[in-house]
Amino acid sequence: MATIEKQTTINAPAEKVFKYLSEIPRHTEWAAHRLEIEPASEGAVAVGSTFNCVGHEMGTHRGKVTVTEFVPNSRVVYEAEDDTGRFRHHFVLEEESGATRLTKGVEPLRLSLLFKILSPVALAFMVPRGLNGDLQRIKAKLEG
């Protein structure tokens, strides 16, 4: 399935942007829908760290988030799985003259039957709009 990506430039150094985005429980601060996230594993966030999550969009969905890539000041990748499917999310940071170009993307890995039916509409309209909204809220948090 196709990866969908959107980008923005944030007037902050990559180190600050990375620190904020790598704190997975803080994703509740910028997510478009109500979201609950708590650590399921101990220690600092690293590859293999897990989190329990509850999403509240089109119902309540309990799931698990697992960090699969963690490159300081450069890249965070995690997979989220619940009854709607399994999705790989990524943030890629590129420093540009004191600012950071941030790319946020999502790739559906497995979809529930309902999401397979909705996927043409979701992938064409809902997901890109959601990514743009997330990026604008992240930008506002970090520049505000």
Residue ranges of the chain with pLDDT lower than 50? none
Sign of CA dihedral 12, 141, 107, 85: positive
Residue 59 is predicted with a pLDDT of 84
Token duo for residue 57: 């969009």
Alpha-carbon gap, residue 92 to 52, rounded angstroms: 23
- Cβ atoms of 1 and 109 within 8 Å: the answer is yes
Residue 39 is predicted with a pLDDT of 97
Which structural domains are found in the chain, ordered by start? Answer: 4-143 (3.30.530.20)
Overall residue count recorded for the chain in this entry: 144
- Give residue-wise pLDDT tens across range 87-114: 999 999 999 998 999 999 999 898 777 7
Q: Check: pTM over 0.75? Answer yes or no.
A: yes
Task: Look at phi and psi of residue 58 and say left if phi exceeds 0, alpha if psi is from -120 to 50, else beta.
Answer: left
